[in-house]
Amino acid sequence: MPNNCARVFKFGSIVSYKWIGTHFMNEILHKPKMSIRKLKTKVSKRFNLIASVGQCRNARKYAFQYFNRALCQDMELWREELKRKNLGSIIKMEVDVMPDGETYFSKFYVCLKGLKDGWIEGCRRVVGVDGCFLKGICRGQLLEAIGRDANNHIYPVAWAMVAVENKETWKWFLDLLIDDIGMGVGHGLTIISDQHKGLVEAVKERVPAAEHRQCARHKCANFLKRFKGKIFRKLFWKAAGSTIPQKFEYHKNEINKLEPLAYEHLMERDPKTWCKAFFQVDRSCDAYENGVSESFNSVIEVARKKPLITMLEEIRIYVMERLCIYKAKGQSWDLNICPSIRLKLNKLKEQQRKILIAYMFWQVVPSGYIQFQVRVGTDRYVVDLHTRQCGCREWQLAGYPCVHVYVAISRLNRDPEDYVLEWFTTSMYASCYSVMWPEVDYTKPLPPKKRRLPGRPTMKRKRDQVEREAKETRHIISKKGMIMRSPFVGKHDITDQHVLKDQMMYHLLQKPKKQGMMLTYLIYYTCVPFLNFFPLTNLEAELEVEHAVMFESESDSDFESESDVEANIEVPEVDVPEGDVVPEMEVNIVVSDVDVEANIEVHEVDVEANIEVPEMDANMEVPL
């Protein structure tokens, strides 16, 4: 017998999420952003069964975890191949062995020999360290150390993937980094970082002799959370940018006068870590922000969303291409000083040109040929070209001349590039940018254990208050507070009835679909100057014209405008006793493309009215 049963079976309960994830693994991995609903539709079409949303969600998660686990088990293979192809590179991996015998991935450190040698040969002893979150299935954090080349570009030195960012992982990372670059306990080294507590403690323990600067932008963001306002932001950056203690004391006192609590807040944050006035002067770097690390985090943002080996491989490829491109770019320079430093010197030159002759406005008092006293306003600075020092300390901090040094050099008619330190030369830049997996017997580790963070997982970086305010006000277009101006009369008071009429007339002329209403107002503006001679009291709009212009009888008046319009309106002869109301009349108006003609014939008085209107395409008769 034929099966006539109309019952529809879902069959979703007879399959598991692992079964779905296994059969759709390739599609999920090729399209990692595939929605759950779309996966559910694919399952229904292919196997004629209805799976639940929860099954599809778990199947998608299972596919990612299976793939990521397989990659983690190949981390040792990738490490050995990287060491074989990059001799001298330091690549280390650590795992955590659980009591049950399971092995989990813990840390992975990479420092390529080419980057290490380039930093030692051609980079200043300044390193920015920071950590960023991984956004793929395998969560964790990426720690990096970024230097600066001779052209002030970012120069990656080392990076490491860890399960969590804390004091122990930072100590492990700093130990490997300091050992690779050979800085011992940190003599002559400057580290720039944020305010992470674990990092601050790790720097004190592992590199106690190093100068530790903390990012002033992070300090400012925390400062403005308590003390809001542009005046506090302005005073903070003036204090942070002060290059001598006297200026810092002045701006600090200004903050104290404005708000004593703000002053106490800044003094508790150790100004020696974020104010230029207390930085050491032998590093040729006046940076008080960790922008190089933030730039590197932005570059690898897409890579951070991918599995571990894929992410590390993309970072390696990016660094390899960067070395090749910047090396070729440096070889094309025929200058002694790098372009970014020349740009800074050119800005000083433009500033000097604006004041025509610098030493006429900057008083330069020579003391021989190498020492000068430069005075501007009430400030006086001593410039010594032999020891390369200036009283403002900017030359010693940055490594290239400040404006006071530039004025003194200009008096001697010398080249300012001769007084730029060697760190910024093209030769030093060139020295920065001058390399089948074998089978290995090893224990295959599992992916790092997941650490549940509080709240909903976020993919985007959390912006501080200053960045949010700038973003909210950047793209908003509002008419709030705007003074409305009539396009015809030019008055500011929008409550004026005449202005409202003018605005309505202007907008109606822009909308041909409302020609009937438009012509009604056109008749009003055409007829009122003439009809004002009569005691009219029952016009539809009940508006009075205060000033009527009388035209001479049988006179012609032409004028030039966007359109020449002649209005001739025919009005039948009517006898109206004084004080009575004029009876209803019919007026015919014909409007052409350019000329608008209306015939008016009035007993004893002929009036010609010239009216300016925009170009219109209309021919119609409207009774009034």
Which of 42-51, 65-74, 259-268, 435-444 shows the highest mean pLDDT? 259-268
Residue 126 clears pLDDT 70, i.e. is over it: yes
Three-state SS annotation for 366-398: EECCCEEEEEECCEEEEEECCCCEECCCHHHHH
Number of other residues whose CB lies within 10 A of the CB of residue 34: 16
Confidence bin at 538 (pLDDT 50/70/90): very low
pLDDT at 47: 85
Residue 10 clears pLDDT 90, i.e. is over it: no
Structure-model confidence comparison of residues 388 and 583, the more confident one? 388
Three-state SS annotation for 301-364: CCHHHCCHHHHHHHHHHHHHHHHHHHHHHHHCCCCCECHHHHHHHHHHHHHHHHCCCHHHHCEE
Confidence bin at 296 (pLDDT 50/70/90): very high
Phi, psi of 49 (to 5 degrees): -140, 155
pLDDT at 451: 65
Residue 551 clears pLDDT 60, i.e. is over it: no
Question: Looking at residues 476-501, what average pLDDT do you find?
Answer: 52
Among 62-66, 244-248, 569-573, 590-594, which is the least confidently predicted range?
A: 590-594
pLDDT at 26: 85
pLDDT at 423: 93
Structure-model confidence comparison of residues 471 and 347, the more confident one? 347
Q: Which residue has the tokens 């009005």?
A: 571
Model pLDDT for residues 416-468, shown as the tens digit of each residue: 999 999 999 999 999 888 743 344 555 656 666 666 667 766 666 666 666 66
Three-state SS annotation for 135-183: CCCCCCEEEEEEEECCCCCEEEEEEEEECCCCHHHHHHHHHHHHHHHCC
Report domain extents, the chain.
Answer: 12-72, 216-283, 337-424, 497-610
pLDDT at 69: 72
Which DSSP letter does residue 569 get? -
pLDDT at 466: 64
pLDDT at 543: 36
Confidence bin at 608 (pLDDT 50/70/90): very low
Residue 549 clears pLDDT 50, i.e. is over it: no
Q: Give the H/E segment covering residue 504.
A: helix 497-509
